[in-house]
Amino acid sequence: MHRDSERHKLFSRRAAMLGGGKSLLLSTLVGRMYYLQVVESSRYKTLAEENRINFRLLAPPRGRIVDRFGRAMADNQQNYRAVVIPEQSGDLAVTLGLLSKIIPLSDKDWRRILREAKRKRAFVPITVRENLNWGDVARIEVNAPDLPGVLIDVGQSRNYIYSTEIAHVMGYVAAVSEDEVSDDPLLELPGFRIGKAGIEKVYDMQLRGQGGSSQVEVNALGRVIRELARQEGQVGNEVRLTINLDLQRFIAKLLGDESASAVVVDVHSGDVLAMVSSPSFDPNMFNKGLDQAQWDSLVHNEKSPLTNKTISGQYAPGSTFKMAVGLAALEKGAITPETKVHCSGSVKMGNAKFHCWKRGGHGSVNMEEAIEQSCDIYFYEAARRTGIDRISAMAERLGMGKSLDLGLPGERRGLMPTRKWKMKTYNEPWQMGETMISGIGQGYILVTPLQLAIMTARIANGGFSVSPRLVTEDDANEKPVMESIGLIPEHLQLVTNGMNNVVNGVKGTARKARIHETGMEMAGKTGTVQVRRITKSERESGVINNNDLPWKERDHALFVGFGPVENPRFAVSVVVEHGGSGSGAAAPLARDILLEAQKLALSTPAPSEREAETKMKEADVT
């Protein structure tokens, strides 16, 4: 009995100790659960949400590029893409084989897709083809049951509405290269495009916009289950150019496939109304991706379609430079309005003989007559009396030999030689013969078509330092303040009279290209630039037919002009590479361009008026 009592007491103590231990463990567990579920609940809820919800960056729509009247030249369009999800396709190679019977897939496409399939997770979509047309989309959708894992995705792609007509100004967008990747997360998005040339490159950051986001639910492997929320990206800023789209398209059609360029500027504001370089290219090809054959056709074309000749082409100005020589000579007093020089067809300087373009010469001519008839002998003498340093200084005041800061990539400075430049570059002294040949715009002198247009504008507007402007500011009608470049009005009048006679005078070199519409007459200056040395036998025979020469050995044809004569508003420069003569090839083009510019100015309201009319029409429709 006593033993039973002792055994009972021992059992009770052990039970109590065991129960106490269990109670302690249970209390600890309850306390821990309370801590995790109550005290730390918000923290673990956040962690759980982060594991369940992913935020993904969305590419924003790229901003539009419009002309001076708000007409779109570059915008965005729907881009239908065929994508494949490897894990859903079963045998990827078989699926691609079936798909290739509907849309062509090159060997390059096959290699790329299979390479990405190995590198990426099986549930990540892989782009098969972009920019599908509606027919391709329809065929894929109809055959969807036989194409496991193949889907149609809809995105946005850059679209250049007028493609070749304004390609060199607009530039283009293309995929981001490895050396262009920065800390901007947008650059890492598949298929994201950035500006690579032209306005697209210069204003790339403004045009990009701000990325949006998509909130999606994913499983533990990262596979998307559903989209919970979406915030679209902010569209990029709109960039408005000074270009008049109607005039731009007119000139592009006029030049055709000729290796040529033309620039039209407003002589008072400097607005670039048209800037055409031909032949051109289709910027949409760069967005979609070029194949090797397309690339080779562009880079091996002797007419250089990828080069913006208006700002990158550098040419000897030829006789279009004679106004600068004349103004420099008048300012120095080396030549007066009454000074006459006798032209017999040639003149000697030491052992060298300098020829006029007209065999037999022009007789005695003053400056106004020399400009009208483009007498070389007169300007040889004017240059000799003036000196190269003064001529170059005048040319720079007129906008040549320096960057005009238009804002497009590839703008060249040209070259205005001086004595100091010659010594620094060649370690040789300047020669008088070099001054004389500079008097007719040849030798070392180089200019761009844009510089020639600005030179003409500064002469036409009375000697004010107008500079080219391609992008409008907030106030499109605000004209920049221009300073005088210090030209004497009487000298300018003499030069412009000569330019008027070039086109409208009885002996003018461009009289066949005159504008007959009253009040729209133009003034100008022809230029013909040799690209090879004329042999003695050719000069003595007097017969040099450019059309009989290989294309690259023919003379360049140039013309600069302004209109209307009585109240100048537009200045133009035209350069036709290997076109023959300025009067025969370039002047007729400039005439048609200036006539069209004036007609458009009469029929088209100012930008602010155009916008007001558009808003009124939209209100009426509403």
| Direct distance between the N- and C-terminal alpha carbons of the chain, in angstroms, rounded to an integer | 108
Looking at residue 77, what DSSP letter applies?
E
Distances (CA, A) of 349 to 27, 135, 432, 434: 116, 74, 8, 11
Residue type, 359: R
Where residue 206 falls (left for φ over 0; alpha for ψ -120 to 50; beta otherwise) is alpha
Q: Where are the beta strands (DSSP E) in 51-115?
A: 53-58, 65-66, 72-84
- Owner of token pair 């209100």: 619
Cis link prior to 279 (omega < 30° from 0)?
yes
Q: What is the largest CA-CA distance in the chain?
A: 158
Burial 485-508 (b: 16+ CB within 10 A, else e): bebeeebbebbbbbbbbbbbbeeb
Given the residues 163, 277, 319, 581, the one annotated as active site: 319
Catalytic, 319? Answer yes
Please tell me whether residue 253 adopts helix, strand or coil conformation: helix
**Long-range own/partner contacts, residues 370-373 (CB < 8 A, 24 or more apart):** 370/322, 370/326, 370/341, 370/498, 371/322, 371/323, 371/326, 371/495, 371/498, 371/499, 371/501, 371/502, 371/525, 372/498, 372/501, 372/502, 372/505, 372/507, 372/508, 372/509, 373/507, 373/508, 373/509
Instruction: Supply 583's token pair.
Output: 């009067």
In this structure, the strands spanning 150-160 and 126-132 are: unpaired
Residue type, 224: V
**What is the spatial distance between Cα 67 and Cα 275, in angstroms, rounded to a whole number?**
12
**What is the spatial distance between Cα 120 and Cα 116, in angstroms, rounded to a whole number?**
6
8 A C-beta contact, residue 364 and residue 342: yes
8 A C-beta contact, residue 219 and residue 244: no
Please tell me whether residue 295 adopts helix, strand or coil conformation: helix
Looking at the annotation, which residues are catalytic? 319
